Amino acid sequence: MKLAGIEHGITDWSKIDTAESRGETGSARQRVRQFGDIRARIVEYSPGYKADHWCFKGHIVLCLEGEFTTELKDGRKFELKAGMGYQVSDDAEAHRTFTEKGAKLYIVD
């Protein structure tokens, strides 16, 4: 990832429109900013959320609130809580998210 062509700017996330999508269970609400090829997001997962697909996109993730599990297609599972994060490159390891209690994440991809 190369951060180029992005002028210094401030994002007031409370002013960014929210889009909602359904998971296999629960829902995800996200606010998105696009900077060329780079996307920054605040994603809020409802309690009981489980992704409805395996993701192959690379991410850098920081858990802001709550806790969630990222599951790899090979069966490994990693539990994360506020202050923790993970990173994975494009097409490296298919993964999906689920949470019992809900979580709020900051994601760059």
pLDDT 10s digits, 37-53: 899 999 999 999 999 99
What pTM, to 2 d.p., does this model score?
A: 0.92
Looking at residue 103, what is its pLDDT? 98
Looking at residue 1, what is its pLDDT? 65
Helix, strand, coil distribution of the chain in percent, nearest 5:
5, 50, 45
Neighbouring-strand partners of residue 92: none
For residue 11, the number of C-alpha atoms closer than 13 Å in the C-beta half-sphere is 15
Looking at residue 65, what is its pLDDT? 98
Q: In angstroms, rounded to a whole number, what is the distance separating the alpha carbons of residues 109 and 89?
A: 9
What single letter denotes the amino acid at residue 18? T
| Backbone phi, psi, residue 36, to 5° | 65, -125
Asked if 33 contacts 11 with a C-beta cutoff of 8 angstroms, the reply is: yes
Checking phi first, is residue 31 left (phi over 0); if not, alpha (psi -120 to 50) or beta? Answer: beta
Looking at residue 11, what is its pLDDT? 96
